[in-house]
């Protein structure tokens, strides 16, 4: 009588093949964590944080990413304020969804730590909102198409209580008017970069040293701050410059001497460079 080796039965062979496939199967690559993404050279951790806030408020982040995001917002006032806005919207939508017959609940009261006096002036690049804190200039915003209420909300999102006060901002508006009239080449006013990340602050500081009538490239600024591969991050930071004109991000262009982007629009960038007699050649 011939015995069959159990190793050679069809069922055993099938089991062995499955075991081999299981051992040799590639483990699917894991998505990078927010912490690892934020630690990359030239990456602004605030960008990573803001991009993932919607996922956090709807509970779509895994625990490590939630922990990183909360840790970041605990240290960054700007991101904390932005996250608070997301949380409020989510709370309002949840309440409204429970009964759409109820009136929309009022926003919870905002606790402001500081005040910001603001006014508006006319300029060759259109109306400008100018805001100052007790430390210095805190905001200059291009006002074309922007209502005063929206500008006030911008200040509130940064933790400021907006107060309309033309006199309080006059030391800034006077120098701005002199600049636009061609009578001033630099500004002698204190600036307040509260809530700005260290990386963005380094970019803005380097930009502030670019002389009147001259241009530098995004690559130049990246090299100046010691991060030559961070050209794109430099551009992102300049696009969020809270104090344009005084911090002259309009003087930063592409390496091929084309204009590049500008938070206020390329037409305004051209006007400011022409005003200073800057050449892109």
Active site residues: 249
DSSP three-state, residue 142:
strand
Question: Measured between alpha carbons, how far is 116 from 137 in angstroms, rounded to an integer?
Answer: 9
Burial of 70 (0-12, 13-18, 19+ CB in 10 A): middle
Burial of 230 (0-12, 13-18, 19+ CB in 10 A): buried
Helix (H) or strand (E) holding 216, with range, is strand 216-217
The angle at the Cα of 122, spanning 161 to 178, to the nearest 5 degrees, equals: 100
Question: Measured between alpha carbons, how far is 34 from 71 in angstroms, rounded to an integer?
Answer: 11
Note the residue count of the chain.
Answer: 281
Looking up tokens 């939508």 gives 93
β-bridge pairing 137-142 and 128-132: antiparallel
Tokens of 25: 């199967």
């Amino acid at each position: 009588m011939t015995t069959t080796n159990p190793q050679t039965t069809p069922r055993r062979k099938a089991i062995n093949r499955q075991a081999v496939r299981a051992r040799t199967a590639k483990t699917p690559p894991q998505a990078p964590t927010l912490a690892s993404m934020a630690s990359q050279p030239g990456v602004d951790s605030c960008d990573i944080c803001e991009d993932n806030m919607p996922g956090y408020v709807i509970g779509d982040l895994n625990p490590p990413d939630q922990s990183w995001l909360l840790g970041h917002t605990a240290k960054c006032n700007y991101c904390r304020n932005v996250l608070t806005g997301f949380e409020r919207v989510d709370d309002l939508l949840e309440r409204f969804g429970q009964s759409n017959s109820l009136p929309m609940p009022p926003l919870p009261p905002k606790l402001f730590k500081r005040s910001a006096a603001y006014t508006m002036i006319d300029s060759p690049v259109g109306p400008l909102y100018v805001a100052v804190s007790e430390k210095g200039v805190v905001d200059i915003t291009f006002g074309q198409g922007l209502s005063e209420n929206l500008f006030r909300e911008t200040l509130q999102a940064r933790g400021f209580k907006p107060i309309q006060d033309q006199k309080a901002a006059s030391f800034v508006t006077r120098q701005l008017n002199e600049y636009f009239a061609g009578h001033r080449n630099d500004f002698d006013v204190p600036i307040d970069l509260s809530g700005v990340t260290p990386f963005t602050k380094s970019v803005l500081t380097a930009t502030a040293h670019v002389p009147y009538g001259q241009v530098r490239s995004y690559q130049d600024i990246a090299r100046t701050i010691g991060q030559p591969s961070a050209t794109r991050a430099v551009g992102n930071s300049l696009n969020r410059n809270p104090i344009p004109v005084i911090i002259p991000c309009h003087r930063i262009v592409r390496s091929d001497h084309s204009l590049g982007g500008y938070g206020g629009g390329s037409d305004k960038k051209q006007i400011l460079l022409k005003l200073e007699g800057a050449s892109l050649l």
